[in-house]
Amino acid sequence: MQNLLEELKSLLTQEPKYLVDGQLFKNKIVEDALKLEPSLLKLIAKNDNIKRHFFVDVEGMVVFDKVKFQEFVSNKNFLPDSYTAFKNKIGLNDGKTYLKNTNDVVLSWAYKDCILEGGMTKEEVKGNVPEIFYNTTLAPDEITRLLDQKVLTKFELWDVESVKSGKAKKPSDITENDNLLIKGNNLLALHSLKKRYAGKVKLIYIDPPYNTGNDGFRYNDSFNHSSWLTFMKNRLEVARELLADDGIIFVQCDNNEQAYLKILMDGIYNRNCFITNFLWKKKSTTTNVQGIQVSPQCEYIIAYRKTDLGKVLPRVKGKESRVYPYSDSEGNYRTTIIEKKAVGEYDRATMKFSILGQAPRVGKRWQIGEEKARKLEKKNRFIIENDSVKLKIYDFEDKDTTSAQPNLLDSHGTTDSAQKHINELFEHSTYFNNPKPEELLKQLIEISTKERDIVLDFFSGSGTTPSVAHKMGRRWIAIEQMDYIKDLPEARLKKVIEGEQGGISKDVNWQGGGSFVYCQLKEWNEEFLPQIKDAKASGELLKIYERMKEQAFFRYGFDSKKFDNKAFSELEFADQQKALIDMLDKNHLYVNYSEIEDSRYNISDEEKELSAKFYGDK
């Protein structure tokens, strides 16, 4: 077998596309094998020994055994490095490489250096704010109780009184009338919401990471793309369960994945439930960057409804907003054109008669029939303005009018205006480069909800969605994993309660008030992740490992007796961090609600009571 391995490696290095930094790229090789890439098959067939192993004769036809080839290339002996060798030694790798499939779960989007360069919400986190996002993809047989409901902890009630005093209250109850700000992995938090909120959320808006390629993720494009889609699929599926039958979901994205995201959502939400693709103009100027041929000024917001009951509300022009500049003996009036295009099925000869001796203009026809037109003509209701026949509309008879919503959002704030608002709220804010403007969220909430409806954002970022929902009298749920949740969005929401006057406040006459409940998923293995990330030396990691042995749940197959300090110390520091993360059982990142009475978790009476109320069990 070893000779075959070496022969295959030697053969594959002849193809430049399989090399990255002079080393063979296993993922690309497997990918080409699975899609029967002709160039790979020709290359393999050149070597008789390799051909005998991976091609079979079927009644005179030579067939490539792609499954056998995949298993061979995926073997831990093929292209091992010090990290995988260490994993093998302590039992973390069973010899298989799981390709992305429909049952995988991506816990978090992959960032090579664990810093969210592309932005967890595409609001682009600035500087070195630590993000505990590792490339954590779990295959189906690794998932046992990952998606169970979780215990909640650190409950805080913030209302006008507590914000003014700077001291949170302890909530006495948790009801569906409460606004919720939840800290924790958003996939797991969404599953924890299902019991109470399934079928009750009217609007979901998310601004997820966009897969820009800025993260240095060392997979080929196809695998990177696949991981991102799996990451989104996991969350969009449970989000659909939370939507009400008349609910609508808006997903913001850029050009990198827009087309693929649309196809993914067709499968989850049903192609017939697609509403539109909104185009939001995010900036008014173009980018003058070397190498950029087309400067992107817009982003997409893909909209789906859960069922046919979901409706985008029409645009309404109120009578009170109109001006009546003319007057006659009947009263004050305005004028309106009564022509429309006469093309295709709308081109009707019966609608091309004369009014006041004038026919419709070329390519036009009247909107009203001849019988009605003659009655209006006798009442002196028509005038000719700028060579066009127009109808008089008097103020005493005028009504509100409606029209379809446009899919172009070109006057709903920009990233610059949103950043200015954040800077006004928090001097020298250093968290986000591209927050979303409140005007944009106001438009989406306005066209799809009414007061007291529930709005959900599970990539909360700077907190724009809950802030706007709060000001507009909607109930809201916001989820964020990172520690900056205390600085943004929690601090921002406190300012909303105080009555801050930025964003849409003046448009909706916001004067302050209201409340929200803050809580966290109770951590277990999760608490070790920031410790591992923040460690600066191998010695610190070894101390963390000792604490993990006492408290953590290790993943199945890990044998702590085989842990070799010497082999561990020979790894690169980043690989040492990855090794510790791999040891942790991801099913136990947080404490499962079903284990709330287990004494090893030291769950307080308050946590038990409020968690039960959160799930509606009390």
**All structural domains of the chain with their residue ranges:** 2-79, 142-310+406-521, 316-402
Rounded Cα gap, residues 421 and 1, in angstroms? 64
Among residues 449, 500, 503, 499, the alpha carbon closest in space to that of 476 is found at 449
Q: What is the rounded CA–CA span in Å between residue 411 and residue 482?
A: 31
- CA–CA distance, 546 with 529 (Å, rounded to integer): 14
- CATH number of the 142-310+406-521 domain: 3.40.50.150
Q: What's the pLDDT score for residue 324?
A: 96
Amino acid at site 604:
S
Model pLDDT, residue 134? 45
> Which whole-number Å values give the CA distances from 334 to 324, 337, 359, in the listed order?
5, 11, 22
Q: Note the pLDDT of residue 268.
A: 94
Task: Give the pLDDT of residue 57.
Answer: 85
Neighbours of 102 (CB within 10 A): 8
pLDDT at 109: 46
CB atoms within 10 A of CB 485: 22
Q: What pLDDT shows up at residue 142?
A: 63
- The whole-angstrom separation of Cα 218 and Cα 427 is 37
What residues of the chain score a pLDDT lower than 50? 94-102, 109-122, 124-134, 215-223
Q: Which of 45, 35, 36, 34 is nearest to 8 (CA)?
A: 45
Name residue, tokens 């608002």: 421
Quote the CA–CA distance of 69 and 430 in Å, as a whole number: 50
Label the pairing between strands 401-403 and 315-317. antiparallel
Contact 484, 131 (CB under 8 A): no
Q: What is the pLDDT of residue 173?
A: 96
pLDDT of residue 211: 65
d(CA 549, CA 152): 24
Flag whether the pTM goes above 0.85. Answer: no
